[in-house]
Structure 1
Amino acid sequence: MKFKYFFLSLVFIGIWSCDKKDLNFELVQVAVPELMTKVDFRNSVTITVPKEIEETGKIYAYKNYIFVSDVNKGVHVIDNSNPKFPKAIKFIKIPGNEDISVKDDFLYADSATDLVVFDISDVNSIVLVERLKDVFNIYDYNIPIEAQAVDYGKADLQNNIIVGWTVTTERRKKIDNRFIDVAIQDGALNTSTAESVTGQGGSLARFQIVDNYLYTVGNYQMTIFNIQNLSAPILENTQNAGWNIETMFHAEDYLYLGSTNGMYIYDIANPSSPEYVSEFTHWEGCDPVVVDGDYAYLTLRGGNDCGQLESVLEVIDISDKTTPKLASRYELENPYGLGVKGNMLFVCDGTSGLKLFDKEEPLQVKLTKIYDNIQSKDVIPLENSLLMIGGDDLYQYEYVEGGVDLISSYSLR
């Protein structure tokens, strides 16, 4: 009888021990990188016929062309000679691409760790003319949103590029304050007479061309290239830029960097070495910024992976660049990009459509019109028309009194 009770006690202790042990473990969604050798990666750049877009990224306008990025895949080239009937004509396959800028028929694009340059003077015969290798730290690894942890294992990122992810469920010991480990291994970064024409990007851009310099920003670094010789850019400087940088906007002699926790201002009087001036700090949120005169306008998107709960439009007084101050704030639904044209402020409010604000009095910005039943992500206010992208559609509008009228909508699929 005593043996029976002793045996039951052992069973109980065993079960209790297992339960206690299980409490120290949890099921975790782990992302493992899929790799491609840098040699194969760099040889995969091609120019092809038009194709359907897979994931719509950013927009860029240059002369009679519109460029639409296909996230991490490349750039779609659209002939916009007739805005009523835009036509896709080429696809530039650039793996690992997110941003572009164009000056005088030379297109600059990121390709993961590299900067690539294309001659687009003949859009029917686009040519890759230069590649600067290992000039960037990759700032967006496109880690699957469902991933709770990342396992780089023994990934050799000196000789390979991350081109995708596999997500598996693993039983792992609990770690306090565990979060995705996105730290990357060391070594990813090594350090005419005709009128000049530079293209224009939207507010979500990370590339800006100013005179003979191309400025690019990653998560925490600014990389500056001298492009006086357009076909042969020179890496001139790499410097710290802040933290969680998402966007960059140029106005007069300053660069305005939008981050998840604020706006940084840099003076580019010395173009090869931008000088930090000040920063405006807010709660954490996704944050593009545009500037007009003495005021900066930025949107903060709450929810999802953006940190905060609220979504707002903020007006920042930057008349004194050393001490930017919050001037006013307005509630929004789900904002992304924005743009300025005259007294009109265009705000892309996601699934809530395109919203127009009168900013004649910057301290009392007034909502004047909403174009709903469309999805909006970013805008480019050109001289004679407004470009907007949202979902898988490209929209073009003409300016009219008090608003805009649709010229055309073009499906990218």
Structure 2
Amino acid sequence: MKKNLFIVVLSILVCTLSCTDDNDASYAEVVVAKPLVISKTEFVNSIAVLPPQAIDESGKMYAYKEYIFVNDKYKGIHVIDNSNPSNPNKIGFIKIAGNVDISIKDDVLYADSLMDLLVFDITDIHNIKQLKRLENVLQDNVVWPAADVFEFDGVDYENEILVGWETVVERRKIAEVNTVDFALENASDGARSTGQGGSLARFKIVSDYLYAVDNHNINIFDISNLDAPEVLDKVYAGFDIETIFNKGEYLFLGSMRGMYIYNIGNPEQPTLVSEFEHGKACDPVVVDDNYAYVTLRGGNTCGATESGLFIIDISNMEQPELKVMYPMDEPYGLGIKDDKLFVCDGASGLKVYDKRNVPDLPQLNHFKDVVTFDVIPLEDHLLMVGDGVLYQYKYLDASIALLSTFQLN
């Protein structure tokens, strides 16, 4: 009897303590960043061209000729033959530790591997060859996510290399949470021979130059000699730089704090023209002749409380002006093609708008049953990737229609 009574009392006590923790104002849900590491030995020997592989976590994509290159976050690049968009086919995998971005010109592929820049010859797509490795030229290239807690414990700095972060939401005692703003504070063009990336790209080729943004800088490479890039002086651009987009003689940088416009009239020395600050949120940008379209994603991992599509008048590059903001749920990448604007609104699907009369933005389509990440509007059709699936859509006069889906895993 006493034993049973003890069990009942203990159960009540545990429940009471648990319920108290759940409702205790001293506790809160916080974003915890956990390190993703590999051994230094694995990093040095990480480059390999392999047969097709299942994808683990689909990231950015890049279109070049009849091929699509899909990043497997921090692991490498899946190569897809898209000569028949109705029936794409995986043909290979370029294993690259710490890779998140690529760019291609004249069958030469440039890819990041943490702080290094790799150069590949893809003239024969079935026999890809590594040409060069430039070491320590992208020194701030590991992206620091917005998080409340960074867990550094357990990393063997003598034998391991940090390649990225995984973020999770956990309930923790507020007094034990140290904010990490300090970590964030310090931490298609006209060339036919160049491929096309999405709005989340950090690499951009313009003529004979490759611009690669890291957390703080525009890293500049002269690629007039394609297989032997020349490292030029980098340009400091601020904090939390995330994306890069080119329009004419301007670069548009998306950061967690704003949009920065740089003039590349002198391509070796970009100069700041203006900036549009929006607070703190995740921020890709695309541009047409008169407007910049910026998606801001709120929530714990990005720092802002609201999500939306911002339309900014850039007719005067020196004084960008916000025209309108359309609420969104969790927007990621976006793209423009002629009179259409495509917005990936995360789990809320792909949204298609008519942008002929900005700031009025009527919706043409809403594909609700897809998880979306980024889009590339090609000349003939639209590419979209999200949640391990490659989607392709054909353009219609006043909308778009699904052409094919392709499971990447």
Per the normalisation by structure 1, the TM-score is 0.84
Q: How does 1:246-257 map to 2 (within 5 A)?
A: 246-257=242-253
Within-5 A mapping of 1:283-302: 283-302=279-298
Identity, % of aligned positions: 48
Maintained 8 Å contact 1:102/1:199: yes
- AA paired with 1:130? K
Task: After TM superposition, give the deviation of residue 140 of structure 1 in Å.
Answer: 3.0
Match of 1:19 in 2: none
Q: Is it true that 1:209 corresponds to 2:209 in the alignment? A: no
Match of 1:396 among 392, 396, 403: 392
Instruction: Please give the alpha-carbon distance, in whole angstroms, between the structure 2 residues aligned to 1:120 and 1:342.
Output: 31
Q: Does 1:104 align with 2:111?
A: no
Find the counterpart in structure 2 of residue 41 from structure 1.
43
* Structure 2 SS opposite 1:248: strand
Residue 373 of structure 2 is aligned to residue 377 of structure 1: yes
Alignment correspondent of 1:412 = 408
Distance 1:175 1:267, change over 3 A: same
Say whether residues 1:95 and 2:97 are aligned partners.
yes
Equivalence for 1:277: 273
CA distance in 2, matches of 1:161, 1:397: 40
Cα distance in 2 for partners of 1:212, 1:354 equals 34
Going from structure 1 to structure 2, the CA distance change for 1:211 and 1:94 (only over 3 Å counts) comes to same
2:295/2:331 contact within 8 Å kept:
yes
Asked if the contact 2:119–2:133 (Cα under 8 Å) also holds between the matched residues in 1, the reply is yes
Other-structure match for 1:329: 325
The Cα of 1:184 is off from its aligned counterpart by: 11
1:247, 1:289 within 8 Å by CA — same for their partners in 2?
A: yes
Does the aligned pair in 1 maintain the 2:256–2:282 contact within 8 Å? Answer: yes
1 CA distance for matches of 2:400 and 2:123?
A: 32
Instruction: Pick closer, same or farther for the CA change 1:83–1:172 going to 2, 3 Å.
Output: closer
CA shift for structure 1 position 115: 0.1
Structure 1 residues 40, 376: closer, same or farther in 2, change over 3 A? closer
Where does residue 238 of structure 1 map in the other structure?
A: 234
The amino acid of 2:302's aligned partner reads C
Look up the SS of the partner of 1:123 in the other structure: coil
Secondary structure, in 3 states, of the residue corresponding to 2:200? coil
Query: When the two structures are aligned, how many residues end up with a matched partner?
Result: 376
Match for residue 149 of structure 1?
150
Counterpart residue identity of residue 198, structure 1 = T
Partner letter of residue 148 of structure 1? V
TM-score under structure 2 length normalisation: 0.85
Could you tell me which amino acid in structure 1 is paired with residue 84 of structure 2?
A: N
Query: Within 5 A, what are the aligned runs for 1:9-408?
Result: 31=34, 34-37=37-40, 40-140=42-142, 148-151=149-152, 156=157, 161-163=161-163, 178-179=179-180, 182=183, 197-408=193-404
Q: Deviations over 1:289-343 (max 9, x none)?
A: 0000011001111113111111111110011111101011111111111100111
Between 261-270 and 357-366, report the one with greater CA deviation: 357-366
Q: Aligned letter for 2:47?
A: V
Q: CA deviation at 1:183?
A: 7.4
The Cα RMSD (Å) is: 3.0
In the TM superposition, what is the alpha-carbon distance from 1:93 to its structure 2 partner?
0.1
> SS state of the match for residue 363, structure 1?
coil
Q: Distance in 2 between matches of 1:165 and 1:260?
A: 17
- CA distance in 2 between counterparts of 1:342 and 1:172 reads 51
- The aligned amino acid for 2:161 is I
Cα deviation for residue 108 of structure 1 reads 0.2
- Code of the aligned partner of 1:381: P
Q: Letter of the aligned partner of 1:36 in structure 2?
A: S
Structure 2, unpaired ranges of 5+ = 1-26
Q: Letter of the aligned partner of 2:127 in structure 1? A: S
Q: Give the SS at the match of 1:303.
A: coil
Tell me the distance in 2 between the aligned counterparts of 1:62 and 1:31: 34
Report the alpha carbon displacement of residue 163 of structure 1 after superposing the two structures with TM: 4.5
* Aligned twin of 2:13: none
| Largest Rg, 1 or 2 | 1
In structure 1, how many angstroms separate the alpha carbons of the residues matched to 2:192 and 2:165? 42
5+ residue gaps in structure 1? 1-25, 187-194
CA shift, 1:44, in A, is 1.7
